């Protein structure tokens, strides 16, 4: 735990770094979810996750290629 002057300096530094992070992460999240299940339109981040989803939720359905 920082005390006294060190604590105040840490708080100021933290506020400055949070100011740089302003903005929404929704666009970044949308870009990361780039694979879509053709059966239920579920979005996943990687082809491996899509493969696992298809095997568990839609057995027998063909797995789309990368």
Q: Does some domain include residue 56? A: yes
Indicate whether 48 belongs to any domain.
yes
The answer to whether residue 4 sits within a structural domain is: no
Position 66 pLDDT exceeds 90: no
10 is a domain residue: no
* Total domains in the fold of the chain: 1
End-to-end CA distance of the chain, in Å? 49
Give the span between the Cα atoms of 5 and 45, in whole angstroms. 44
Residue 26's pLDDT band, with cuts at 50, 70 and 90, is confident
CA 53 to CA 37: how far, in whole Å? 8
**Domain assignment of residue 17, yes or no:** no
- Sign of the dihedral through C-alpha 36, 41, 59, 29: positive
Number of H helices, E strands in the chain: 3, 2
Instruction: Tell me the pLDDT band of 62, cut-offs 50, 70 and 90.
Output: very high
Asked, for residue 42, whether it belongs to a domain, the answer is yes
Question: Residue 46: which domain range?
Answer: 30-66
pTM: 0.57
Residue 24, in any domain of the structure? no
Give yes or no for residue 52 having a pLDDT over 90. yes
> Does a structural domain hold residue 15?
no
Residue 15: the pLDDT is: 86
């Amino acid at each position: 735990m920082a005390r006294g002057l060190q604590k105040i300096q840490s708080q100021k530094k933290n506020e400055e770094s949070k100011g740089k992070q302003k903005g929404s992460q929704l666009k970044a999240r949308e870009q990361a979810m780039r694979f879509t299940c053709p059966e239920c339109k579920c979005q996943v981040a990687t082809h491996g996750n899509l493969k696992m989803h298809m095997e568990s939720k839609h057995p027998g359905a063909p797995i789309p290629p990368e």
